[in-house]
Amino acid sequence: MTKGKSKIKKNNPIKNKAENATLDPSTFTEKLKKTSISELNTILKGEYMAIDSYEKYIDNISDANAKSELQKIQKEHKTQAISLAERVQNLGGIPTKNIGVIGKVAETISDIADITKSKPSSYIKKALNGENQGIKLVDEMIKGDLDNDSKNLVNSMLNQDKSHVNILSGLSTSLESTNK
């Protein structure tokens, strides 16, 4: 008799419908879309944090060459933010418009830590640290569920961010050798 009950449960159309819903390609695509939108918005918040951070570094750095390099990198982060926002929209989502509460807390802590720093090399090191942290976080995120187009976009951004690390490393070395 227990075998009969077991068969009834397996053939229960309500249960089978619920199980199949998770395997249905259109449902999976919708789930992937929502996950991609969420992940992209998280990355977008990071881009906003980068833009804001570079603004502070640019405002406080006196070395003209360093300022110019920081402006170029900030511009690239702005372009990345626009690309992410467009991708979120193309997936049917609403792009985030700011860094969020956690970002504001991190920004405040960073501002307090910056009060005592004044050498250009210290701002470059902070920018370098921020780029490395961003790369590490985004690298972990893209191991999860992102649609292929979003994954390609984010990988392209990661490559650009890695070039930022190279630029900032060279700039840091240059400024330290001149004791700036």
104-162 pLDDT tens trace: 444 544 554 554 556 888 899 999 999 999 999 999 888 878 899 999 999 999 999 99
For residue 2, pLDDT over 60 is answered with no
What's this model's pTM, rounded to 2 decimal places? 0.76
Closest to 84 (Cα-Cα) out of 75, 96, 72? 96
Tell me what pLDDT residue 158 has. Answer: 96
Tell me what pLDDT residue 3 has. Answer: 47
* 49, 104 contact by CB (below 8 A): no
Calculate Rg over the CA atoms of the chain: 23
103-112 pLDDT tens trace: 444 454 455 4
65-83 pLDDT tens trace: 999 999 999 999 999 999 9
Tell me what pLDDT residue 4 has. Answer: 47
Q: Which helix (H) or strand (E) holds 60?
A: helix 25-60
Closest to 157 (Cα-Cα) out of 65, 87, 102? 87
Closest to 35 (Cα-Cα) out of 92, 100, 98? 92
